[in-house]
Amino acid sequence: MANIGLAFAIIVISCMFVFFFIVTKNTISMNRDNERIKNEGFKTEAVIKKTYPDKVQNIEGRTHIHLDVMFKRSDGTPVETKKDISILTFNSNSYRVGEKINIIVSPDDSNAIIVNEDNVKN
């Protein structure tokens, strides 16, 4: 009976380790990608086409929203893409359909953007 309990504990601990490893790796990768876009990307203005709140709102004073935006690449080609951001709830009126926001676009992938506004977490 003790062997079964020990095996179960090892499996649970191993699963937790793998979960935390994946979360940490993804967070580091995302932060690295955002820094690269900030340093190498081009700044432009995007128009919000659609906005809707995330189902999970777990930080007091902040709102997680999904944005569908449209902007033009440096060659004038229109691009529509999506971005999830966390904003201060106080500033939520600034992210309505038709509003313009500043973004930085990846030089490699036009769908990879960061919102370049104060109080936004990408």
Q: What percent of the chain has pLDDT over 90?
A: 40
Contact between 120 and 113 under an 8 Å Cβ cutoff? The reply is no
pLDDT in tens, 68-98: 999 998 888 999 999 999 888 888 888 999 9
Residue 13 three-state SS = helix
